[in-house]
């Protein structure tokens, strides 16, 4: 009977990074608060029987705002990880891949 060779995959733990750049953090929070307001507006549009095209356009806008906030957070965090220099490049790469796959 043939034997199987098992190769162990190296598992890297997620990097626990909290964004320190207050300007970027404020920018992200502002964008998310705006999206939250847009969501409330969309609910009202639905409750008042607004046109489907108008509602879908607003839903798409909220989605883009949230995506932009997420990518801004990833970008700012990556910049800080690089500047700090203490992070393992492989771990940072694995974390980025996980984050982008979550958004995909």
Chain mean pLDDT for the chain: 84
Task: Determine the Cα–Cα distance for residues 40 and 45; give it in Å rounded to an integer.
Answer: 9
Evaluate whether 19 touches 73 at the Cβ level (below 8 Å): yes
Residue of higher predicted confidence among 89 and 67: 67
Dist CA 89 CA 37 (whole Å) = 38
pLDDT at 11 over 60: no
Reported as a pLDDT band with limits 50, 70 and 90, residue 74 is: confident
Whether residue 8 has pLDDT greater than 60 = no
Give the model's pLDDT for residue 92.
Answer: 77
Measured at the CA of 101, the angle between CA 25 and CA 92, to 5 degrees, comes to 60
Which domains, from first to last, does the chain contain? 22-93 (1.20.58.1000)
Identify the pLDDT of residue 76.
87
The mean pLDDT value for 17-41 works out to: 92
| 50: pLDDT strictly greater than 90 | yes
Query: What distance lies between CA 4 and its chain's CA centroid?
Result: 39
- Please, which residues have CB within 8 angstroms of residue 55's CB and are 6 or more apart in sequence? 42, 45, 46
Which is more confident, 64 or 101?
64
């Amino acid at each position: 009977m043939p034997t199987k060779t098992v190769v162990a995959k190296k598992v890297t733990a997620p990097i626990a990074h909290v964004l320190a750049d207050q300007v970027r953090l404020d920018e992200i929070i502002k964008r998310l608060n705006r999206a939250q307001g847009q969501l409330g507006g969309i609910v009202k549009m639905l409750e008042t029987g607004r046109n489907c095209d108008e509602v879908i356009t607003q839903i798409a806008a909220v989605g883009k705002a949230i995506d932009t906030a997420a990518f801004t957070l990833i970008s700012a965090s990556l910049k800080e990880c690089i500047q700090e220099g203490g992070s393992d490049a492989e771990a940072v790469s694995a974390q980025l891949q996980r984050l982008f796959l979550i958004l995909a």
